[in-house]
Each structure stands twice: as C-alpha cells, then as structure tokens.
Structure 1
Amino acid sequence: MRLASTIRGVTYSFRSIKEVLAKANSHKSGDVLAGVAARDAVERVAARAVLADVTLEELRNNPVLPYETDEITRLVEDDLHEPSYAAIKHLTVGQFREWLLETSTTGELMRSISRGLTPEMAAATCKLMSNMDLMTVGAKAQVVVRANNTLGLPGRMSSRIQPNHPTDDVQGILISAREGLSYGCGDAVIGVNPATDTAESTRDILMALDEVTRKNRIPTQNCVLSHVTVQMAALDLGAPMGLMFQSLSGTQTGNEAFGISVSLMDEAWAKMKEMTPTKGPNVMYFETGQGSELSSDAHHGADQVTLEARCYGFARRYDPFLVNTVVGFIGPEYLEDGAQITRAALEDHFMGKLLGIPMGCDACFTYHARMGQDELECLKVLLGSAGVAFLMSLPVGDDIMLNYQSTSFHDIPSVRGLLGKRPTPEFDAWLSEMGIWDGGKPGPRFGDQTVIR
C-alpha cells in the first residue's frame, strides 16, 4: 500500500491511513486546531488522490484507533456483517464512490451492504464527494424505522419539538409543545433538554408530556434528554419513556468523558426494551456532532469527520429510531462559519444514512460563529432535499435555555411546502383529523394551540 502522490513534480507522502483521512478532509477549523489538517489545498488534493486508491479492505484493516485499545473499534469490527463486507471489500474508495452515485444503485442496494461498512469506509468516501454528491446519495439511502409511528418513508420529513425551559417549568414546557404541535411539528419526538438532570424531574416531565399525547391521541413519542443513567432511574420510578436518549462519541475515551461505555449502553437498551410503552421495535435516540472528541481531548490524532462516522457505527448497534448531528452547536473552534457548518451537516447526513441509521440534523449555529439566518435557512432546504429524516423545531428557532439558533416551528411547514414533503403517515392523518393540516396546505386550526387539550 503506497501512501504517496506526486503533484507538479512534488511528492506528498503520508505515514498512515489515519493521516491520509485527516488531510483529505474538507477544511475544518477543528482539524486545524487539532493539528491534523492539510497544510494547503494541494496537499489536500494529494491526500484525496491517495485515498481514492485505498481499498475498503485496507480501511477495515487500518482503523484510526487500534482494536486493542478502543472499544468502539472492537464493537464495529465484531458486529460487522461479513457477507455484506465480502461483496464490497475489493473496491477502492474511488470505485465505491462511483458505485454509490450510479443511477442503477438504489437505496435498497445500499441498505443491503450497510452493515458491511466500517465508519472509516463511510468517512473516506465522504471526503471524495462534493456537496451535491452527498445530497444525491443521501436522498437515495432510505432508512425506515418504527416506534409509535413510521419514520424515513419516501416523501416524508419529520421534526422534533424541542420545548426547553430554563427552569424545567412543566407548564412552560407544555405550552411550547402545544404550540409546536399546532404547526404540524413533533412527529419524530417531543424531546426536552432538561435544566435539572434528576430522575424525579425527568419522570415529572415525561408524565406531563405523556398525558398530553394520550389525551389527544397523538402518534408520536416523548423523551427527556437527561443522562442515560438518570433515565434508567426514571424508568424505575415509573416514567412513561417513549425514547431513551444519550449523546455518543466516536472513541472510548470520548464516551468515558460522557460517562458511558458500550456495556452501560447495552444495559440501558435492554432495560428500555423491557419497560417502555412505545410499540417499537426502535426505541433509542442518539445525538452526535463533529468536534466533540476534540473538545474532551479524546480525538487521538484523528480528524473530526472520521470520528463522527464512528459515532454512527456505535449507534447502529442499538437499531435507533432517531440519530441527529447537532451540527453547529459545539462552536466555531470546530466549525468556523456557514460553509463549514453546511458541509458538515451534509457529510454527517450522508455517513449516517450510508451506515444504515435514520439520520436527522439540528441545523444550528452558536451566536459567535460566522453564520447568518439566510445561510441557516438554505441549509434546512438542502437537508430536506437530501432526504433528512427530521429537523428540530422550537419557538422562533431560538433556544431560550441552550442559547443557540436552530429551526423554528414555522420553518418545518415551510420546508415541507417547498419540497412537497409530509410528516409520518400516522401523524399526517392525526393533523388532518384535528384540522391542523389539510392535504398539502395548512388547515383551519393551523397554529391554534387551543386545539391541543
């Protein structure tokens, strides 16, 4: 395996596949901060030329973290579906990219080999693609999952209502949730980021949300995004938990910083399947985001795109109902501006779908990043065109607890209208019954909170 390329008489040599992956990555402020980025555009092109000729088998044999020292590497390797891997292992990254882009390569074909792909394969392919390439393949790669409704079907785009409150005031949370529902949002989940991470507060919020969804016969699911151990304790207190949540990292040390491990997540998944009222079979919810490993000094010299893909390799073990990248939330140290945030969102969506998980996105930015509202709105339309499973939705797109800019309740029906998308079939029927939505347009009770008891 020759890790060198000559451009204009200058030979660029790389010490490892890890270095090739890092230097082939699109320019990201986080990779610069980590000291792993290409020196300039020419070195980036040289790394991509090398990467295009690396085989998928060589990528499997050279993960960015060794099998012996990282449990995420071990999980991916031990869970890999060998027949699917055997069908594609001989391809180079360049050939695999071309195969994905062929019109004859359907979503069903991609789904059939997804469990034979390692995260490094998905990340490597991503680095050779333009933004339109990422959208084209992402739109084909459908992943259909079921909880209390059915996510990921063709022509559908769902949303998470995020009714956060800075003091976890239950009535404030319910007011926000009712408003979002009245605009046709919330079919993915009604998910609250809690201010107080206790089992009792988690239970109380879940019970209040459950009462609203049961009373109004709303085909969705509820979630409080407290730590997984807190949610396990809340289950023991009788909380009616629709989905169980946890943030994930792509390295063992990154997950240790989150206070989790593979064995803990296995235990949580088993407990959730036993105790949730959700119909299922998909009952887990995970969030990720490029740069999280670097923020906890757990990146081990790997680039943030590859580490993000490893989060998805971790997530797919649990057949989740929802996974989303909180793409601009960690800050400009990792994704500096609108162009980088847009690129990262399309990369993450592509990699997650390719690896076989239902991929959503929190299209967002923090207020010290160089991104504007117009750029954010364009990103939402790009993601909708790329077949994103769900986006966030919150009052005026401004999270009053987490202090960042995201997607508003009004944005969801706007994007659906632009692209001809609908919510999940079950939720669509409920909206029609309530007079909130009427076919492809707002109904007589659109935006009327009083329709939700």
Structure 2
Amino acid sequence: MILKVTLSGKHYQFKSVKDVMAKANEEKSGDTLAGIAAGSMQERVAAKIVLSQLTLKDLYDHPAVDYDHDEVTRMIIDDLNPLVFGQIKNWTVEQLREWLLATTTTNEMIHYLSQGLTAEMIAGVCKLMTNLDLITAAKKITNEKTANTTIGRPGTFSSRLQPNHPADNLRGIMASTMEGLSMGIGDAVIGLNPVNDNVSGVSTILKAFDEFITRWQVPTQTCVLAHVTTQMQAIEKGAPAGLIFQSIAGSEKANTAFGINQQLITDANTLGQEKCRNKGTNVMYFETGQGSELSADANFNADQVTMEARCYGFARHFDPFIVNTVVGFIGPEYLYDAKQVTRAGLEDHFMGKLSGLAMGCDVCYTNHMNADQNDIENLAVLLATAGCTYIMGVPQADDVMLNYQSTGFQETATIRELLNRRPIAEFETWMEKMGLSKNGHLTDKAGDASIFMERESI
C-alpha cells in the first residue's frame, strides 16, 4: 500500500488511509474546520492519485472508526457479502470508478456488486468522480421500496409533503397538507417535523393525517418526525403511523448524541413491521447530512463524505422505505456556499443509491449561507436528472418552523413536466380520479385546496 506520490516535482507523503481520504475530498468548509482538508489544490490532486491506486481491500482494512470500538463499523463489515467482496477486493478504486461509469454496466450488475462494498469504498470512489460522473453513475441505479405504495420505479419523481407549523396548529397543518396534495405533492410521505416532541402531540397529528387520507383515499404514508422513542410510544398507544423516522449518523458516538443505537432502531423496525399502517415491508425513514458527526465531536478525524457514506451503511442494515440527506441544513460551517452544497447533494445521492437506498434529498440552505433559491433549483434539476427518488415539498419553499429554505410545491411539479417524470403510480391514479391531473399533466384544479373543503373543517 503506497501512500505517497511525486507530482510536478513535489513529493507528497500521507500519514494514513484516513488522511488520503480526507485530503482527496472536494473542498468542504467542515473538513477545513476539522483541520483535515488538503492545504492546496495540488495536494488534493496528489491525494486523489494515491487514492485511485489503493485497493478495495486497503479500504476494507482501514475503516474510518475501528471495528472493535464502533457498532456502525461492525454493522457495515458484518453485513458485507464475503463472496462478492472476494471477487473485487483486489480492484483499485480507479477500477471501480471506471466499471461504474462503463456503458455496459447495468443496474442489476451494480446491485450485485454493491453487496461487496463497504461505506469507505463507496466514499472513496465518490471522491474520484466529477459532478457529471456522480449524475451518470447514480442515474443507472434504481432502488424500489414498498410501504403503502412503491417508490423508486424508473420514470417517477416523488416528494415529501412537509406541512410544518410553528405552533403545531392542526388547522394550519391541514391547510398546507391540502394545498400540497392538490399540487401532486406527498406521494413519498406526508411527514411533519413537530414543534413539541411528546406522545400526545405526535398522536394528535398522526390521527389527523390518518383521518384525512382515509376519507380521501390518498395512497401514501404518514409520519411525524419526533424522536424515535416518542414515535414508538405513540404507536404502542395506537397512533396510526405509516413510517417511523429517525436522524442517523456515521459513528456510534454520534448516534449516541442522537439518543439512538443499533438495538433501538432494530426495536423500532420490528414495531413498525407489526403496527405501522403499512402494507409493505419497508417501514423506516432516515435522514442524514454532512457535518453532523463533527458537530457531535464524533467524526474521528474522518472527512464529511466518508462519515456520510457510513450513515448509508447503517441505514441499509434496516432496509428503510426512504432516506434523505438534508444537504444544506447545518449551515456554512460545514458547506460554505452553493458550490459546496451542490457537490454534497450529488455525492450523497450517489452514495445512497449505491448503498441500495431509495435516496432523496432535502435541497435546502440556511439564511446565513452563501446560496439562494436559484442555486437550490439548479441542484434540484441536477438531482432529478441523476434519478433522485424524491425531494421536499414545503409551502412556499420557506419552512417557518425549522427556519430554513427548501423546495416548494412548484419545483416538483415543474421538474415532472420538464423531465417527463410521474408521481408514484398509485398516487397518480388517485390524482386523476380527483381531477388534479390528466395524461401526466396537471389540470386547472391543481393547487386549489378548496377541492377538499366541502368535506373538511379546518
């Protein structure tokens, strides 16, 4: 294993595989904050050259966090298919990149090979790709998951309806829900971030969602994104949830900061299989985002991309319905501007899909970041081109509860029209029955929440 290279007459020596991985990463303010980023573009290129010649076994042998001290590492390693890994362990990272981008490499081939990839391998090949490479490779991969409906089928582009309210007011929540549904938003999930993380509040909102989608026969699933333990208590008491949510991280220490571990998520998954209002086998919903491990002082000197890839390794153990990266939510400390957010969104989407997940993205930014709505629309189109499973649908793209900017209802509708994409099949059939769409296009009724008002009191 060679960790040095001479480039343009200058000698570069790297301390470890982790050091190579960090310095090969595209520029991220979080890596700079952590003191692990390349000091110059030349050093970044040198690290990429060294990384390209490492074998997949080199990355297997050098996880970001030691196997004996981290359950996320153990989950990733123990879930690996040894037969598949044995067939590719001597490939270089460069060879993996070329194979993924080859025109002869199919979705089925990638699904098979991915069983032999650890998170570090997925992060490594990601670092050798341009933005266009990430779009091209991700586009090849389709990952279908089933809850009440099936997400991720080719030709579809879905959305999470996010009707957050600053006071958890049911009238406001349901008004946003009706408006979103009338625009064809919410086929992935109707999911609300609550202000109050308590069993009573979660149960009340879930019951309101359930009553509405039952009355109007909306083919989707619902979720209130409280802490997993709160949701579990509510479900045990009879609350009608469709999915169970939790934010996750790429190390045991960071997950501990979130108040979770493998056993708790295993228990939640089991509970969801038994009691969620869900016809399928996929009941979990996870969210991630580059930089969360550094925030918890739990990145172990590993870079953001590598730790993010490990989130997906943790997630795939539970075969969730959906996962999304809240890509620009933490702020400029970790992703400084639109260029870094764009890169991170494409990285996360590619890594999630290569990990076998129905991968979405909250295409977002905070008000103190050097980005604007045009930047977010650019990324949304790039992700949709890459085969992104779903994005967010937030009223007016302005989340008045979480206080950040995301995508609204119009973005999903416009991208479907622009790229000839459809909602989830069952949901589109419902839209046609409601008169909201015809032959794949929205009708004049779209966006008019009053179609629900004759039988609703809000």
Question: Which category of TM-score, normalised to the shorter sequence, fits these structures?
Answer: over 0.9
TM-superposed deviation, 1:200: 1.1
Match of residue 172 from structure 1: 172
The residue type equivalent to 1:237 in the other structure is K
Matched, 1:56 2:75: no
Query: In structure 1, what is the equivalent of residue 217 of structure 2?
Result: 217
Which whole-Å CA distance do the structure 1 matches of 2:377 and 2:440 have between them?
21
CA contact (8 A) 1:4 1:12 kept: yes
Partner residue, 1:102? 102
2:403 is the counterpart of 1:403: yes
Q: After superposition, where does 1:110-259 map in structure 2 within 5 Å?
A: 110-259=110-259
Q: What is the DSSP-based 3-state SS (H/G/I as helix, E as strand, rest coil) of the residue aligned with 2:160?
A: strand
1:385 aligns with 2:373: no
Report the equivalent of 2:23. 23
For the Cα contact (< 8 Å) 1:432–1:443, is it kept in 2? no
Matched with 1:312 is 312
- Amino acid paired to 2:180: G
Kindly state the Cα deviation for residue 440 of structure 1 after the two structures are TM-superposed.
Answer: 2.6
> 1:167 Cα deviation (Å)?
1.0
Aligned to 2:443: 443
* Amino acid paired to 1:53: Q
Q: Does 1:336 align with 2:336?
A: yes
Q: Secondary structure at the match of 2:366?
A: coil
1:7 alignment partner in structure 2: 7
C-alpha distance in structure 2 between counterparts of 1:74 and 1:100, whole Å: 26
Q: Distance between the aligned counterparts of 1:194 and 1:4, measured in 2?
A: 50
Describe the SS at the equivalent of 1:167.
coil
In the other structure, the counterpart of 1:75 is 75
5+ residue gaps, structure 2, are none
Q: Distance in 2 between matches of 1:44 and 1:104?
A: 30
Give, in angstroms, the shift of residue 41 of structure 1. Answer: 0.3
Moved more, 432-441 or 59-68: 432-441
Secondary structure of 2:404's match? coil
Percent identity between the aligned chains? 53
**In the TM superposition, what whole-angstrom CA distance separates every residue of 1:358-392 from its partner, at most 9, and x where no partner exists?**
10000000000000111111111001000000000
1:174-223 C-alpha deviation (Å, 9 max, x unpaired): 11111000000100000000000001111110010011111111110000
Residue 335 of structure 2 is aligned to residue 364 of structure 1: no
Q: The residue matched to 1:297 in structure 2 has which SS?
A: coil
Matches within 5 A, 1:422-433: 422-433=422-433
How far does residue 86 in structure 1 lie from its aligned partner after superposition?
2.2
CA drift at 1:110: 0.5
Q: Using the alignment, how far apart are the partners of 1:333 and 1:444 within structure 2?
A: 43
TM-score (norm 2): 0.98
SS of 1:391's equivalent in the other structure is strand
CA shift, 1:84, in A, is 2.3
Aligned positions, number: 453
Give the conservation status (yes or no) of the 8 Å contact 1:436–1:444: yes
Deviations 1:264-302 (A, max 9, x none): 111111111111120111110000000000111111100
**RMSD between superposed Cα atoms in Å:** 0.8
Equivalence for 1:45:
45
Between the aligned partners of 1:399 and 1:212, the Cα distance in structure 2 is 22
Other structure's SS at 1:286 match: strand
1:270 aligns with 2:283: no
Pairing 1:84–2:81 present: no
Give me the whole-angstrom Cα distance separating, in 2, the residues matched to 1:227 and 1:67.
27
| Residue identity opposite 1:20 in structure 2 | V
Distance in 1 of aligned mates of 2:88 and 2:433 = 47
- Equivalent residue letter for 2:393: S
Amino acid at match of 1:36: I
Distance in 2 (alpha carbons) for counterparts of 1:88 and 1:176: 49
SS in 1 for 2:361: strand
Structure 1 residue matching 2:317: 3-state secondary structure = helix
Deviations 1:394-440 (A, max 9, x none): 11100010111100111110011111110111111111111111123
Query: Is 1:20–1:51's contact at 8 Å kept on the other side of the alignment?
Result: yes
- Report the 3-state secondary structure (helix = DSSP H, G, I; strand = E; otherwise coil) of the residue aligned with 1:219: coil
CA distance in structure 1 between the partners assigned to 2:57 and 2:314 by the alignment: 20
Aligned to 1:348: 348
Cα distance, 1:116 vs structure 2: 1.6
CA distance in 2, matches of 1:273, 1:440: 33
How many Å separate the matches in 2 of 1:87 and 1:418? 41
Write out the 4+ residue segments of structure 1 that deviate beyond 2 Å after TM superposition: 450-453
- For 2:93, the equivalent position in structure 1 comes to 93
Secondary structure in structure 2 of the residue aligned to 1:367:
coil
Please say if residues 123 and 306 of structure 1, whose CA atoms lie closer than 8 Å, have aligned partners that are also in contact: yes
Q: Which amino acid aligns with 2:122?
A: A
Secondary structure in structure 2 of the residue aligned to 1:218: coil
Distance 1:238 1:84 in 2: 43
Aligned equivalents of 2:115, 2:276: Cα separation in 1: 27
Runs of at least 5 residues in structure 1 that lack an aligned partner in the other structure = none
Partner SS state of residue 191, structure 1: strand
State the match for 1:288 in structure 2. 288
Bigger mean CA offset, 436-445 vs 103-112: 436-445
